[in-house]
C-alpha cells in the first residue's frame, strides 16, 4: 500500500481534536512511515503575518487573505509549502529542500520559496502550513485497518481551490460518500 498523493479522510467517529473531520494530503508514504499535511484546519494566522515573522514582505496580493494552516502536530514552528511543481535545472525543483510528490506537486521547507513569493514570483498555487502529520512504520496501516481513515487519490483542486469549509465533504464526495452515510457507531451492536 502506497498512499503518496492520496487524501486521508477522517472517519466521522474519529474525535481527536486535530484529526477529527480532517483531510490529510499524503506527501510521502513508504515502509518507513508516512508524512502528510492537514488541508482543512486553518490557523488564525494569515500569510502576511507569517511573512512578517520571517522578515519578508509578501509581494503577492493574491495571497493576502490566505490563512496558514495547521498541517499537523509535528514541528508546529516550522513552515511547509505545498505547491505546483516548478522545473529547475536538470529536472529538479528550483528550491532547496523540496520533496517531489508523484502527481505534480512539491513540498518545500526551505526559505527560498518564501523569498520568491516575497518578490512577487514563486509558484502560483501555494498552500502553507505550520507543522505536519507523521506516522511511524506500520502505524498508518494499523489506523486504516481500525477504520479511522478513508483513502482516495488526491485532487489538487481540493487543496488550492475549494473553500476550506467544504473540503471534508468534497473529499468524501470523491468516494461517492457523504459524512451522514457513515455512522460513528458502526459495528457496536
- 51 in a domain, yes or no? yes
In a domain, 34, yes or no: yes
Which pLDDT score is estimated for 144? 94
The confidence score (pLDDT) of residue 58 equals: 92
The number of folded domains in the chain is 1
Paired sense of beta strands 98-101 and 126-136, if any: unpaired
Residue 187 placed within a domain: no
Question: Within a domain: residue 145?
Answer: yes
What local confidence, expressed as pLDDT, does residue 88 receive? 64
Q: Return per-residue pLDDT of the chain as tens, 189 residues.
A: 899 999 999 998 888 888 999 999 999 999 999 999 999 999 999 999 999 999 999 999 999 999 999 999 999 999 999 999 887 655 567 888 999 999 999 999 999 999 999 999 989 999 999 999 999 999 999 999 999 999 999 999 999 999 999 999 999 999 998 878 886 554 544
In a domain, 186, yes or no: no
Q: Is 126 domain-assigned?
A: yes
CATH code, 18: 3.40.1740.10
Look at residues 149, 83, 77 and name the one whose alpha carbon lies nearest to residue 114: 83
- Residue 73 and residue 133: Cα distance in Å, rounded? 6
Evaluate if pTM is beyond 0.85.
yes
Q: How many CB atoms lie under 10 A from the CB of residue 25? A: 28
pLDDT at 189: 47
Domain that holds residue 58: 6-181
Q: How many residues are there in the chain?
A: 189
pLDDT, residue 157, reads: 96
- Predicted confidence at residue 17, as pLDDT, reads 83
Amino acid at each position: 500500500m502506497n498512499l503518496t498523493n492520496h487524501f486521508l479522510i477522517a472517519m466521522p467517529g474519529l474525535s481527536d481534536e486535530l484529526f477529527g473531520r480532517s483531510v490529510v494530503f499524503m506527501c510521502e508514504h513508504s515502509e518507513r512511515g508516512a508524512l502528510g499535511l492537514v488541508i482543512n484546519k486553518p490557523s488564525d494566522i494569515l500569510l502576511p503575518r507569517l511573512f512578517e515573522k520571517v522578515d519578508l514582505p509578501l509581494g503577492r496580493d493574491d495571497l493576502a487573505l490566505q490563512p496558514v494552516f495547521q498541517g499537523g502536530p509535528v514541528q508546529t514552528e516550522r513552515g511547509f509549502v505545498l505547491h505546483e511543481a516548478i522545473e529547475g535545472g536538470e529536472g529538479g525543483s528550483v528550491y532547496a529542500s523540496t520533496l517531489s510528490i508523484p502527481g505534480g506537486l512539491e513540498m518545500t521547507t526551505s526559505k527560498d520559496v518564501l523569498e520568491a513569493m516575497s518578490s512577487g514570483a514563486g509558484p502560483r498555487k501555494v498552500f502553507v502550513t505550520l507543522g505536519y502529520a507523521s506516522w511511524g512504520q506500520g502505524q498508518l496501516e494499523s489506523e486504516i485497518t481500525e477504520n479511522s481513515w478513508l483513502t482516495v487519490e488526491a485532487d489538487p483542486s481540493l487543496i488550492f481551490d475549494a473553500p476550506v469549509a467544504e473540503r471534508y465533504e468534497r473529499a468524501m464526495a470523491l468516494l461517492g460518500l457523504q459524512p451522514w452515510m457513515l455512522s460513528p457507531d458502526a459495528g457496536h451492536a
